[in-house]
Amino acid sequence: MTHDQIAARLEGFVRRHFGVARDDPAFSRRAHLFQDGYVDSLGVVELLAFIHEEFGVEVPDEALVPDRFETIEDIARVVHGLVDGRVDRGLADAPPGSWHRGSSRDSGLDSSRAAG
C-alpha cells in the first residue's frame, strides 16, 4: 500500500468521523488536526483504533508526538512505515523494537496515550 493510499483512507476517516466538510478551505492533508481543532484527545483514541483496524498496526508511543503525528501526511508516513515494517519512514529515531506489527504488547488504546 502506498503512502498516498494510506493518506486517502486517513483523510476519508477524519472527514467522515469528525464531520469535516468537503468545502472546508482550511482542511487539507497538511492541516494541523489537533491544534486546529479537527480532532480532540478522545478523537486521537478513535483515530488510533481506526489505524489498528484498517491497517493492522499499532502506533508506538514514540510516534505520538506533534512533529510526527499532527497532520494526515505525518500520520500516513508513520503508518506507511509500520505497514512496510520499516523504521526509516517516520520512526527513524525510535528505539529498536518500539514499532511493531500486530503485537500484543499494547493492545489497549487508553486515553492516557492521547492526553497532551
Give the whole-angstrom CA distance, residue 78 versus residue 82.
Answer: 6
Convert the pLDDT of each residue in 1-50 to its tens digit.
999 999 999 999 999 999 999 999 999 999 999 999 999 989 999 999 99
- CATH no. for residue 91? 1.10.1200.10
Other CB atoms within a 10 A radius of the CB of residue 57 amount to 21
Average pLDDT, the chain: 80
Give the whole-angstrom CA distance, residue 9 versus residue 112.
Answer: 25
Indicate the number of domains in the chain. 1
Rama region for 74: left / alpha / beta (φ>0; ψ in -120 to 50; rest):
alpha
Indicate the SS3 state at residue 58: strand
Confidence band of 58 (pLDDT split at 50, 70, 90): very high
- As given in the structure block, the three cell numbers for residue 46 are 478513535
